[in-house]
Amino acid sequence: MSKKTIEDTGALSPEASNASSNTMTLSSLRGTPVYDALARRLRAHSLVISPLPYLGFGGSGTLVKYKDKVGILTATHVIMNHLDSREIFAPFHATEDPRIFYSDRIPIKKIIYLDTEPGLKELTQTDSYPEDTLDICLIELDTEILENVLLKSGKKAVNLSVYRDKYTNNFDFYCCSNNDWCWAMDGAPRENVKQDDNNILQSRYDGLYVSGGYYRSTPLVHVLPSFAQTTDLCVHQLGPTLDSLPNSFAGISGAGVWQVAFEGDDGTPTTIHELFFSGVVVCEVVQEKLVSRGPTSLYDVFLSYIDSIS
């Protein structure tokens, strides 16, 4: 994932509101107990992935299940040149250190995506992000393969049906334009990544990123005609942090996005009030901003497409 331009409308802030509507500063969140708790909860579902054995290439994903489908949710462009592949590579944690992994091969059942050929072609461009594509896909796995992945990695699959029901039954609360939320993404930028002869991967910048942001609506064009509709795009401002950020976030594409409501006192988050799985990171833009497809894209469009082919 390279840095791309995107229409920039609306104010961005590295601050977000908590469940009690009190503004909280996110820039100093790293290294606090609530940040560590949030990282552990999200890392239980996230995965670093690559279509090639060399894990310095590729993106991020989330282990999910939805009705009779199981697999890895990611951005289509992460594996766009390998859509016919029947294997993907993912590192599992080799130690307690979240930056160190061991690579393993995962057999693929099928890759499910909604973008058309013109949309896939647009996704190869590096100068601007094609907002008229959906860029969400499911790397479907056999159930026993997923169970083996969960056993090896100690991770859990996100049940998308649960979050879709929440979103459907209370749209105004869970839609990403609700200012009570901030966003958290657990992904793996590949800057300065190292992989030794034993397939041990060390990633300096792997980890949790928390942001403020704003919501936009964009029309989908390069998808199957029955799913061409206006949907959501979320632009996330990371803001300053106590530790350094990578110069490029290449590799974080496909990471799961969670809406987070914090509680706390005097502008300091102390506890997690609620987590809601809301989408997929699809792009990095200039000035430390990330872009994701939100809950309308995921639940109204992509999962509806899965329902139509099941």
For residues 136 and 58, the answer to whether their CB atoms sit within 8 Å is no
| Cβ-based neighbour number of residue 94 at 10 Å | 15
In 23-44, which positions are buried (b, 16+ CB within 10 angstroms) versus exposed (e)? Answer: ebebebbbeeebbeebbebbbe
Check residue 212 and give its pLDDT.
Answer: 81
Q: How far apart are CA 171 and CA 10, in angstroms?
A: 22
Give 14's strand partners. none
Q: The pTM is what? A: 0.87
In eight-state DSSP terms, residue 96 is S
Listed in sequence order, the DSSP H helices in 154-301 are 160-169, 171-174, 295
- The closest alpha carbon to 293, from 309, 277, 307, 305, belongs to 277
By residue range, what is the domain housing residue 68?
3-309
Quote the pLDDT of residue 24. 54
Contact residues for 132 (Cβ-Cβ < 8 A; gap 6+): 119, 122, 218, 219, 220, 221, 222
Per-residue pLDDT of the chain (310 residues; tens, 9 = 90+): 434 433 433 433 444 433 333 455 666 677 788 888 998 999 899 988 888 877 777 889 999 999 999 999 999 999 988 888 899 988 775 556 655 666 788 999 999 999 999 999 998 876 678 899 999 999 999 999 999 999 888 899 999 999 999 999 999 888 866 777 889 988 877 777 776 665 666 666 667 888 887 888 999 999 999 999 999 998 888 766 656 677 777 778 899 999 998 888 776 788 999 999 999 999 887 666 889 999 999 999 999 999 999 8
**Structural domain tally of the chain?**
1
What pLDDT does residue 310 have?
85
Write down the pLDDT at residue 7: 41
- CB of 58 within 8 A of CB of 51? yes
- CA distances, 105 to each of 39, 53, 87, 117, 208 (Å): 25, 8, 7, 28, 24
